[in-house]
């Protein structure tokens, strides 16, 4: 099933193209696709479909975020799909899965991609290689940009669907 057609989840073509771009080029800018031929693009599309589905299943199953209304951090996906592509499409074990999910949750809780999306995406994509230790580098980069990843009671003051911490109420 295509990533954009999963029940409860709806994504636009720009989002899918961003995932394809990062998988194939390791860059956020669509212009990085200029030298990608049709055959390689088709492979990137298939990898984006597979890695997005893998991530959505993991996020739904592990975090309970199973619908658009509670799914945060859409722009963390291009980083995660690139990471999965570098890992051959699968995570090695539960510890790796949990570290990736830790980064994912903190990236949307703290608004990692709320500003200049391409710039931040490129910063995060830049620490994925070599893939060994990449999750530690992603978490450290997030910590450096945020200062602290400690969640405090007052962080839950927002109550609407648009509040960054809203998905935590559903877990």
Mind listing the pLDDT tens digit for each residue in 71-116? Answer: 778 899 999 999 999 999 999 999 999 999 999 999 988 888 887 8
What CA–CA distances, in Å, run from 127 to 50, 71, 82, 83? 23, 24, 11, 10
Q: Comparing C-alpha atoms, which of 149, 138, 47, 74 is closest to residue 100?
A: 138
Distance CA 89, CA 19 (A): 13
pTM (2 decimals)?
0.83
Least reliable range by pLDDT among 4-8, 24-28, 80-84, 116-120: 4-8
For range 127-154, the mean pLDDT:
85
Secondary structure letter of residue 169 according to DSSP? H
d(CA 164, CA 171): 13
């Amino acid at each position: 099933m295509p990533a954009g057609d999963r029940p409860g989840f709806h994504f636009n073509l720009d989002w899918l193209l961003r995932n394809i771009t990062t998988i194939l080029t390791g860059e956020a800018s669509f212009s990085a696709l200029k030298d990608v031929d049709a055959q390689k693009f088709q492979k990137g599309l298939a990898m984006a479909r597979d890695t997005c589905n893998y991530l959505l299943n993991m996020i739904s199953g592990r975090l309970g975020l199973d619908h658009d209304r509670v799914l945060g951090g859409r722009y963390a996906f291009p980083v995660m799909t690139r990471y999965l592509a570098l890992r051959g499409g699968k995570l090695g074990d539960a510890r790796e899965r949990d570290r990736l999910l830790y980064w994912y949750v903190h990236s949307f809780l703290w608004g990692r991609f709320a500003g200049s999306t391409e710039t931040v995406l490129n910063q995060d994509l830049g620490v994925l290689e070599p893939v060994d230790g990449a999750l530690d580098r992603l978490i450290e980069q997030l910590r450096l940009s945020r200062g602290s990843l400690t969640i405090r009671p007052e962080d839950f003051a927002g109550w609407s669907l648009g509040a960054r911490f809203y998905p935590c109420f559903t877990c």
